[in-house]
Amino acid sequence: MSTWQIFLELFHGARFYWRRFWIFLLLVMAGSTGLYLWQTQSKNEAALQFTSLPTSSSANLVNVDIQVTAGGEVLVDGKDFSKSLKILPNSYEIRILVLDEPGVYIQNFRAIMHLPGKVQPNEIKQRIIAIHGAEHNYNAYIIDSQTLAYVASAISPQGEITIVAELPKTLLSPPLGKKIVYTLSQVPAKSYIIISIILPLLTFAVMIFMIIRRRQDQIFHLSRKINNTPPTDSPPAVIGALVDGQVGAREIAATLIDLAVRGYLYITSKGDGQFSFGKRKSLALENLAELREFERILLSKIFEAKDYKSTRQDVDMRVGRHIFSRKIAQVYLNIYDEATNLGFFVQNPVRVHLYWKYAGVGLFFLGLIGFALAAIFSPDPKFILFFWAGGMAASLVIIWLAGLMPARSITGSIALRKWLEFRNYLNLNRSVEPGANIMDKFSQLLPYAVVFGLESEWARRFLKERFAKPDWYESEDRAITLENFVGHLYPIIEYVGGSLARSHEPTVE
């Protein structure tokens, strides 16, 4: 089996709703941008609260008292402004926007910073950054070994003043969280970009490895043995679940053909993509005891109560009536239940799929929360956002591949080998062996060919036979050949099966 064939086996039935993904990603990016802008705005607003300015047009003197604790807390007039402390490679920096367009003329401004311990003058660097009418008449100096002063005069109502102090590493002991944030901020952007790419790729590789290990009896089935009859009378949909580990459009399509072959449905092709389903045996097919539960539910989705036929428009209307269909989800669940009751799986595949999907969803929201918090609180440059984006991408890989994680039992593996030998028979590249009622054989095994994805290969084996249309199929064509039978029926079943499968609730895969 080639690598490409292995990947086709792996991803048969895997679904990923790209449009929904991009919309959701756009919303996440918009939300993160909004949070970042809110953070920036909140910083500016916080700076205005550092001084209690008078309501008059001018002020003679404005004092600001700043307390720095040994633990790295910064209190400005008693208010916590610890965000102003930044860890640098060789020092700690305290940068405070003390005045931001105060709205009044300030004759004299003074800020006093109290340090938690004694330092030498050569260990400290002080600066004042003043703009917009505060560019002149300012100074920064040391009062004593534990006290720093910043003064300015003639500050216009539009002035801005930021004070900066670089302190030695021995003076403060910031909390572990701030140290971790600093360490992460020192990681180069290139490293975070590489991590953001490696995380989803590594997750993908691990998931593929686990899927291959769990499905190796199917993927690496190299037996050329041929079984010309179905090993059991199990429904085609259940065999589809056994082979793929999940239910999808092919299982629904195969069930519809199986119901027709068994005499419960009539299929009419009207050309130009139009068709209709008709009931046979009873106008209340959904109540017949001989039908399996998932077959009754499927019929109730296609037909309204007491209706004897259903057109393409009727099917489209019933599919489009709800965003997600509980009935189709119930069809999936009943197929999985029957496969589990037959001993094909150690645990119901629905639960296995949900465990992995919920794990992926949990990791995604963990990454989303980390992304949002990093966007708000992490220092610039915010390269760590690449890490959280990579984590979210990795979680999407888990969600995407969750439906491919089967839990096949020993009994299921044995049954699978037998059914794969039967698949070899359907896929033979030669005409079918002659016999009586040969076209009946074509119809009876057609549902299994559909569920294996071999409907075209199976029909090709009958090209040299004289075709007789099944009694459950009708068309407007005068002469129904095998070619136009296949050309009309297969698109109908594929359309209906795909439409119904897409409508199932996302909690069931």
pLDDT in tens, 296-312: 988 888 888 778 888 88
Residue 78 scores a pLDDT above 80: yes
**Cβ-proximal residues to 325 (8 Å cutoff; 6+ apart), any chain:** 301, 319, 500, 503, 504, 505
- Quote the number of domains for the chain: 3
Q: For residue 84, which of 46, 117, 132, 53 has the smallest C-alpha distance? A: 46
**Alpha carbons within 13 A on the beta-carbon side of 65:** 4
Cβ(119)–Cβ(154) below 8 Å = no
Query: What does the pLDDT read at residue 36?
Result: 54
> Residue 296's domain spans which residues?
231-346+408-502
Residue 44 shares a structural domain with residue 61: no
Say whether 237 sits in a helix, a strand or coil: helix
- 3-state SS, 191-224, equals HHHHHHHHHHHHHHHHHHHHHHHHHHHHHCCCCC
Task: Inform me whether the pLDDT recorded for 381 exceeds 50.
Answer: yes
**Tokens for 3?**
């690598």
Asked if residue 399 and residue 426 are part of one domain, the reply reads: no
Q: What is the CATH number of the domain that holds 151?
A: 2.60.40
Assess whether 63 and 131 both reside in one domain. Answer: yes
Q: Where are the alpha helices (DSSP H) in 88-188?
A: 176-185
Buried b (16+ CB within 10 A) or exposed e, 206-221: ebbeebeebbeebbeb
What value does the mean pLDDT take over residues 474-478? 80
CA distances from 65 to 50, 107, 150, 153, 305 (A): 9, 18, 11, 17, 80
Does residue 313 lie within any of the structural domains? yes
| pTM of this structure | 0.59
Residue 265 lies in a domain: yes
> Do both 23 and 169 map to the same domain?
no
Tell me the mean pLDDT in the region 382-403.
84
The residue out of 383, 407, 431 marking a domain boundary is 407
Last-in-domain residue among 362, 385, 407? 407
Residues 240 and 342 in one domain: yes
273/356 same-domain check: no
Between CA 128 and CA 110 the distance in angstroms is 12
Domain boundary among 362, 384, 407: 407
Q: Is residue 456 part of a domain?
A: yes
- Same-domain check for residues 402 and 313: no
Residue 177 one-letter amino acid:
G
Tell me, yes or no, whether 389 lies in a domain.
Answer: yes
481-485 mean pLDDT: 86
What backbone phi and psi angles, to 5 degrees, belong to 117? -155, 175
* 242 and 307 share one domain: yes
Report whether pLDDT(43) > 60: no
214 located within any domain: yes
Does 156 map to a domain? yes
Question: Does a structural domain hold residue 419?
Answer: yes
Strand, coil or helix: 376: helix
Lowest mean pLDDT among 154-158, 215-219, 243-247: 215-219
Q: b/e map of 171-182 (b: 16 or more CB within 10 Å)?
A: bbebeeebeebb
Arithmetic mean of pLDDT, 83-111: 86
Q: Highest-confidence range of 216-225, 251-260, 471-480, 490-499, by mean pLDDT?
A: 251-260
Comparing 85-89, 187-191, 312-316, 505-509, which segment has the lowest mean pLDDT? 505-509
If asked whether residues 141 and 270 sit together in one domain, one would say no
What are the φ and ψ backbone dihedral angles of 126, each rounded to 5 degrees? -115, 145
CB neighbour list of residue 373: distance below 8 Å, 6 or more residues apart: none
Give which of 332, 254, 373, 318 is closest to 499, Cα–Cα: 318
The pLDDT of 72-94, averaged and rounded, is: 86
Residue 10: pLDDT over 50 = no
Task: Report residue 199's pLDDT band, with 50, 70 and 90 as the boundaries.
Answer: confident
Residues 364 and 430 in one domain: no
State yes or no: pLDDT of 56 exceeds 60: no
- Residue 111 φ/ψ, nearest 5 degrees: -120, 130
The answer to whether residues 210 and 310 belong to one domain is no
Same domain, 251 and 361: no
CB 328 within 8 A of CB 500: yes
507 located within any domain: no
